[in-house]
Structure formats: structure tokens, C-alpha cells
Amino acid sequence: MSTIHPVLNRRRLLALLTGAAASGFLARPSGADQLFAQVDLRGGHDADLRGLLPDAIDDQSRLFQRAIDAAAAEDRVLRLPPGSFVISNIDLPDGARIAGVAGATRLIYGGRGHFLLSEGARRIELAGLVLDGANQRLGAHVSGLVHLSGVAEAVIDDVTIAGADGHGVTLEACGGRISGCEIFGARLAGIYAVESRGLAITRNTVRDCANGGILVHRWSPGEDATLIDGNRVMRISARAGGTGQNGNGINVFRAGNVMVTNNHVSDCAFSAIRANSASNIQIVSNQAIRSGETAIYAEFSFEGAVIASNLIDGGTVGISVANFNEGGRLAAVTGNVIRNLTIQGPYPAEYAGFGIGMAIEADAAVSGNVIEGAPQWGVLMGWGPFLRAVNFSSNTIRQCGAGIAVSVVEGAGSALIASNLFDAVPGGAILGCRWTEVVTGDLARDGAGKFRHLTLDRNVVA
């Protein structure tokens, strides 16, 4: 009776196949299929690990570096078994590919400089790993637990990243994608991408970070084209303080042509989605729940914003498209639902204060929105002389302190307010204001009168 060897490795498989060929065994495809089903020929076996052992007590940085260098040189995936590996100061060479058993292969930062670093590579891939920063201090030369710089195609799939002393992931001047990952417990932000080159950030969960969720920035305004889609971002704090620099779920700064779509963002200290000096941005079909300040913000020197089909529940201001004084202009704001706002903010109220459904200033079409439960104003239209070419039509404003506060300060530009429905607005439907001071009666009843920059038509007050 023959004995079947309990372990079938690659060398034994080749020997068996050689013998099988000589005996005519390969003429039976089903037998060969069974052999291949028992072994992974795509790369990665015990010899490839170069002495690495899972769950070893000792730091294995030297062995890990040797293993990844060899795998990259041979254009091979370094496949790691389940277990923990303590490593530090790993430099990922061009072509480095590391794959583990999702949820079971854990790389732990030993705390001596950096964790995983790559500079100038064409392609880097990480998949199926748990990366644990153990809250160990990172060196000043890196800002992220995983720090990739100038990588043309960075691919991070199905990776858990926890306990980073800085950002969970830093991507500087990178393309590629980060997808299906869970990132939590970062001292700074979960994902920090700067000067990106066609990056995609999709289907990730970013939670419980101290100062930011997903940050897409540039050093100076320019084309970025990052896609931020289908992510879940929650419980983002602002431990470093400020009035909006920190504490945002998704923050786009100076990055042009970015799309922020289909994300679920909740319980952020400041904004769910904050776009600062970000031209040609689309913020579409997101949910912004229980924001600590303005839920969705397009601010400062941007040109071009589409904010559409978002659901906002909670915040001090629902949507703000502001800073015409800094060049912020040109927006379409359509089909959003804004509700349950508050006058209680994370710092003492300034300027127009809190409890406002929407703020809008220049060169904008605003239609088909529903605003409910804004304690102060449903809409703040213009700020002093900073009002121009606003078309506000076919919106519903109900159960707000008052409907629209529109600027009647000298120098304010044109505004069309037409075919809107106002219901349960005890302070009035349309009021003229000089900054925060109401200086007219209800214009929905009295008409625009001497304010030639205003056109009011077919508004309904229930």
C-alpha cells in the first residue's frame, strides 16, 4: 500500500509531475487538477520568507527587509502566513508586493524611526494585512505609519491600519488607490494625500481619529482629480483645536477637480465635508450626520462647485458656499435635504452665528432643496456687499426661525428669489438685512420696493 505525503510543497509537486509525465499520468487532467488545487504557485512559500517566523518574540526587521528585497527583485509577491511580525524601518523597494491573510497577518511597528516607507517607486502593493502602529513614536522624516512618496501606482487593498502616531497613511505625489481598508486610532488623520496624481480613495472605513478623517491637499492650488467615493467616516475629533483646520471627516484643500461622492460621514467635530480653495469640486450623494459645525462647506478662493443630492441631519450650518470676498464663486446647489440644525457650536458664534440652513453668496443656482429646522435662518443670502447673481428658486423652507435673510447693503449684487415655499417661519419669509441687522419688513409680502438688485416672484408663504 502506498503512503501519501501529508504536506505537498512546490518541490514535491514538481517531482510528482515529472514522475507522472514519465508514466503517462498527465494524460488524466483530473489528477493534475487535484494536485494544483493543493498548492499556491503564484509566489510565496517557506523559503521565500528568508527565515521570518510568525509570532516570534524578537524584532524581525532585518529578515523582513531581506525577504521583501528578494521578492521585489524577482517580481514576486511576498506572501505572509497568519501571525505577528515586529518590524521597524522597512524600506519598500520598487515592485514590493506584500500580501497576508486578511485579519490574521499582523505587522507591528517596533518604534525605531519609521514603519513602512517607499520613495520614488513605480508600484507598491499591500493587501490583506493588519498594520499596528502600537502608538509608538514615528521619526520626524515621516508623517504616516505607511508613508509613500512619489509612488506612481500605490495599491493598498483590504488593509487594517491602527494606532498610528501620525497619519494612518501618508501619500505624497502618488497615484493608484486605497480601497476596502479600515483605519482607526490615528493621532492625526486616517488618510493624508497631498499632491496626488489621479488617486482613488474608495470603500474605506476611517474612524476614531484625533484630528481628521480623509485629507486631500496640495501645496498650491492645482489639478488633483482624486476620487473619494463610498467611504464611511465617523467619530473624528479636533484635539489640536482651531476653528475648522481639524476635525473634518473629508477635507479637500487647494485640490482641483476632486469628486466626493456617496460617502457616509457622521459625528465629526467640525465639517462632514469641507472644501477649501478647491475649484471644480463635486460633492454629490453624501450623508452628513451630526456634524459639530458646518456640515458641507465650499469656502475661500474656489471657482466651481456642484453640491447636489446630499442628506444633512445635524450641524450648526447645513451648506455654506461662501467667501466671495476671497474669490469664492460659481456653484450649483440642488436637491439637498437639510434638517435638525442647532445654534450650539464648538466655539463662540461669530458673524451671522449658527443655526442656519444654507449660506450662499455669488454666481449660484440654488434649486430643489428642502430646509427644515434651522433655528435662526433657513437661508443667509449674501454678506454685506458680497452678493452677486444668485438664483434661488423652487426650494422649500419650513419650521425655521425665519426664511431668507438677503443682503440689502449698498453694493450688493443681483438676486432672484422665485417660486419658493415658506411654511412655519414665524420671523418672516424674506427679510432684508445689513449684515446681522434686519432692516425691512417681510419682503415676501411687501415686495422688493427700493431694492433694485432684488427680484421676487411667485413665492408662497403658507
Q: 309-345, pLDDT tens digit by residue? A: 999 999 999 999 999 999 999 999 999 999 999 999 9
Residue 116 lies in a domain: yes
- Calculate mean pLDDT across residues 386-390: 98
Instruction: Domain count for the chain, please give it.
Output: 2
pLDDT beyond 50 at 353 = yes
Q: Do 80 and 35 sit in the same domain of this protein?
A: no
CA-wise closest residue to 46 among 86, 11, 98: 11
Name the 3-class secondary structure at 443.
Answer: helix
pLDDT in tens, 130-162: 999 999 999 999 999 999 999 999 999 999 999
Give the Cα separation of 19 and 32 in Å (integer): 12
Domain boundary residue, one of 145, 162, 179? 162
Our separate counts of H helices and E strands in the chain read 4, 45
pLDDT at 223: 96
Q: Do 117 and 137 sit in the same domain of this protein?
A: yes
pLDDT beyond 50 at 15 = no
Residue 229 lies in a domain: no
What percentage of the chain exceeds 90 in pLDDT?
89
pLDDT in tens, 408-441: 999 999 999 999 999 999 999 999 999 999 999 9
Considering only 16-25, 348-357, 420-429, which range has the smallest mean pLDDT?
Answer: 16-25
pLDDT beyond 60 at 37 = no
Q: Do 27 and 96 sit in the same domain of this protein?
A: no
Q: Do 33 and 46 sit in the same domain of this protein?
A: no
- Calculate mean pLDDT across residues 20-27: 36
Residue 322 lies in a domain: no
Q: Do 67 and 150 sit in the same domain of this protein?
A: yes
Give the Cα separation of 425 and 409 in Å (integer): 23
pLDDT at 46: 56
Q: Do 24 and 85 sit in the same domain of this protein?
A: no
pLDDT beyond 90 at 5 = no
pLDDT at 35: 32
Name the 3-class secondary structure at 461.
Answer: strand
Considering only 15-19, 146-150, 363-367, which range has the smallest mean pLDDT?
Answer: 15-19
Q: Do 21 and 54 sit in the same domain of this protein?
A: no
Beta strands in 5-82 (DSSP E): 78-79
pLDDT beyond 80 at 264 = yes
Note whether 399 and 375 are within 8 A (CB).
no
**Burial of 92: CB neighbours in 10 Å, binned 0-12, 13-18, 19+:** buried
Q: Which residues contact 289 (CB under 8 A, 6 or more apart)?
A: 264, 265, 266, 267, 272, 313, 314
pLDDT at 112: 84
pLDDT at 32: 35
pLDDT beyond 90 at 66 = yes
Give the Cα separation of 145 and 202 in Å (integer): 19
Give the Cα separation of 377 and 453 in Å (integer): 21
Residue 105 pairs in a beta bridge with 83
pLDDT at 47: 61
Q: Do 51 and 157 sit in the same domain of this protein?
A: yes
- Calculate mean pLDDT across residues 348-371: 97
Residue 172 pairs in a beta bridge with 149, 194
Q: Do 73 and 1 sit in the same domain of this protein?
A: no
Residue 361 lies in a domain: no
Amino acid at 56: A
Q: How many residues does the chain have?
A: 462
Domain boundary residue, one of 104, 131, 162? 162
Q: Which residues contact 242 (CB under 8 A, 6 or more apart)?
A: none
pTM > 0.85: yes or no: yes
Note whether 351 and 380 are within 8 A (CB).
no
pLDDT in tens, 199-230: 999 999 999 999 999 999 999 999 999 999 99
* Chain mean pLDDT for the chain: 91
Range of the domain at 122: 42-162
Domain boundary residue, one of 162, 197, 225? 162
pLDDT beyond 80 at 14 = no
Give the strand pairing for 317-321 and 294-299: parallel
Residue 396 pairs in a beta bridge with 370, 421
Residue 286 lies in a domain: no
Residue 459 lies in a domain: no
Name the 3-class secondary structure at 32.
Answer: helix
Residue with the bigger pLDDT between 50 and 235: it is 235
Give the Cα separation of 118 and 112 in Å (integer): 16
Residue 199 lies in a domain: no
Q: Do 148 and 66 sit in the same domain of this protein?
A: yes
pLDDT beyond 50 at 22 = no
Q: Do 7 and 49 sit in the same domain of this protein?
A: no
Torsion angle of the four alpha carbons 18, 23, 27, 30, in this order, in degrees rounded to the nearest 10: -70
pLDDT at 48: 82
Q: Do 88 and 149 sit in the same domain of this protein?
A: yes
The H-or-E segment that residue 385 falls in is: none
Residue 331 lies in a domain: no
Q: How far is CA 324 from CA 22, 90, 352, 405, 438, in A?
A: 81, 47, 15, 17, 21
